[in-house]
Amino acid sequence: MWAGWWLWPLVAICTADRFQEEAKKIMQASPLIDGHNDLPWVMLKRFQNQLGSKEADLNHLANTHTNIPKLKAGLVGGQFWSAYVPCDTQNKDAVRRTLEQMDVIHRMCQKYPETFVCVTNSKGIRQAFQDGKVASLIGVEGGHSIDSSLGVLRALYHLGMRYLTLTHSCNTPWADNWLVDKGDDKAQSQGLSLFGKSVVRELNRLGVLIDLAHTSVATMKAALNLSVAPVIFSHSSAFQLCQHRRNVPDDVLQLVRKNGGLVMVNFYNDYVACQQQATLSQVADHLDHIKKVAGAGAVGFGGDFDGVSRVPTGLEDVSKYPDLIAELLRRQWTEEEVRGALADNLLRVFEAVEQASNHSSPPSEEVIPREELEDSCRTYYGYSEASSLHRQPGALLASLATALLSLRLL
Ligand SMILES: *[C@@H]1O[C@H](CO)[C@@H](O)[C@H](O)[C@H]1NC(C)=O
Ligand SMILES: *[C@@H]1O[C@H](CO)[C@@H](O)[C@H](O)[C@H]1NC(C)=O
Ligand SMILES: [Zn+2]
């Protein structure tokens, strides 16, 4: 009896190792796809998108959640990189700034071809897995990036956008954001306006994933009702476990189950635990909950690394993913369920979105009605100088110069 006593810690250690080893084995065959990483934003903020600067070298980049050695240690095989521009660029230079963030993602792929490969479809992801590279995709975070134009939406698609988050933390003229549910913003579109519905249909037609992270619950429900393809939440957790409005409530999780969609869990402490501290185990609780309510086919990872200031103990950076997988195995997730969360669920959703797309059907020519643009200074073809002045201080100078010049010429 006493002999068994001192053996217990040893047994515990060996069991822990068993899950670790099993996690790594599964991930080597089926690497992880993460739904949301803000490294491109770090490149802008710290290096003005100058990837060539010495400190920006992704092989050695310090003080970030993400770099190449950490991605390799974390067995990350696919990443939606976020092309994010802040809400205060709305109706200003959002489109230009979005193009620059998409460009920096393309340049990451170009600069590190042994690590990254930019892909735009599910086949490309599978090929990258085989080649041992990180399949890199572009998610545009925030509907303000299309400046209420389906033409811009299509142009972004052609440049590689494969998900569009319908809102960031601000309303667009056509979709409401989560701050409406918090009471900090006014409902404007009651979910999606008529033009917002055209946006969803156009995303379906093109084969772009519809991302409902950051949106209001009414927007989630409207998009889930309208989309003919599964939708995703690229970086959101479960409202039932932490009553933060950025999280997904259970009734929406049930709709996600019906829709065949996917919720990729966000690791930000404030969404995981509703406080500044959180743990890996609490993240696993969110995964368990989403699995229970929406089904094992609806679970994924959207760590929000390098986009948040606090991450859980045990999930300090992207290298820690295998520890989270080990925890799921400890909680008796089957290998199939784990593979689903790692990559199979996202691949299934992406393939369904591709299947539902229809490039032979004509592009929508709908324009946003003027009344939906009440707060914006957007201009039309027969536009007035006055409204264009609001857009950028530079425009004011340019217009002044033009005015002076034309006076002289007259
Ligand atoms: C879903 O869409 C149908 C039309 O296709 C509409 O009648 C119904 O009210 C919508 N439901 C919700 C909850 O938006
Ligand atoms: C695609 O769109 C075309 C043109 O609108 C239509 O004729 C065709 O039936 C559509 N295909 C599918 C699979 O829906
Ligand atoms: Zn976000």
Nearest to 302 by CA among 78, 17, 27: 78
Closest ligand by atom to 362 CA: 2
| 110 C-beta closer than 6 A to ligand 1 | no
| 221 C-beta closer than 6 A to ligand 1 | yes
Quickly name the fold that domain 15-366 has.
TIM Barrel (3.20.20)
Residue 36: active-site member: yes
Classified as helix, coil or strand, 82 is strand
For a mutational test of ligand 1's pocket, the pick from 201, 217, 225, i.e. the residue with the most ligand atoms closer than 8 A to its C-beta, is: 225
pLDDT value at 37 more than 60: yes
Distance CA 329, CA 22 (A): 8
390 alpha carbon – ligand 1 mean position (Å): 38
- Among residues 34, 36, 144, 306, the one annotated as catalytic is 36
pLDDT band at 410 (very low <50, low <70, confident <90, very high): very low
The string of pLDDT tens digits covering residues 352-386 is: 999 999 999 999 999 999 877 865 555 555 444 44
Residue 214: active-site member: yes
| 225 C-beta closer than 6 A to ligand 1 | yes
The predicted model scores a pTM of 0.90
Residue 304: active-site member: yes
Classified as helix, coil or strand, 5 is helix
258 alpha carbon – ligand 3 mean position (Å): 25
Contact yes or no for 352/230 (Cβ under 8 A): yes
Neighbours of 164 (CB within 10 A): 27
Whose C-alpha lies nearest to ligand 1, atom 1? Answer: 225
Using a 6 Å CB cutoff, which residues line ligand 2?
358, 360-361
DSSP-assigned letters across all residues of 151-180: HHHHHHHHTTEEEEES-BSB-BTTB-BTHH
DSSP single-letter state for residue 143: G
Nearest to 192 by CA among 212, 163, 162: 212
Neighbours of 386 (CB within 10 A): 10
Residue 168: active-site member: yes
Whose C-alpha lies nearest to ligand 2, atom 3? Answer: 361
CB-based contacts of 42, cutoff 8 Å, min separation 6: 64, 66, 306
CB-based contacts of 162, cutoff 8 Å, min separation 6: 80, 120, 121, 137, 138, 139, 208, 209, 350
Percent of the chain whose predicted confidence (pLDDT) is above 70 = 88
Q: Where in the chain is the domain with CATH 3.20.20.140?
A: 15-366
Distance CA 77, CA 133 (A): 6
The string of pLDDT tens digits covering residues 3-33 is: 566 777 666 666 668 999 999 999 999 999 9
Distance CA 171, CA 144 (A): 8
DSSP single-letter state for residue 364: P
**φ, ψ for residue 139, nearest 5 deg:** -110, 125
Distance CA 79, CA 66 (A): 11
The string of pLDDT tens digits covering residues 204-263 is: 999 999 999 999 999 999 999 999 999 999 999 999 999 999 999 999 999 999 999 999
Mean pLDDT, to the nearest integer, of 147-160?
Answer: 98
Closest ligand by atom to 304 CA: 3
AA identity, residue 352: A
What is the predicted pLDDT for the residue at 181? 98
pLDDT band at 398 (very low <50, low <70, confident <90, very high): low
Classified as helix, coil or strand, 259 is helix
Nearest to 268 by CA among 260, 259, 257, 277: 277
6 alpha carbon – ligand 3 mean position (Å): 48
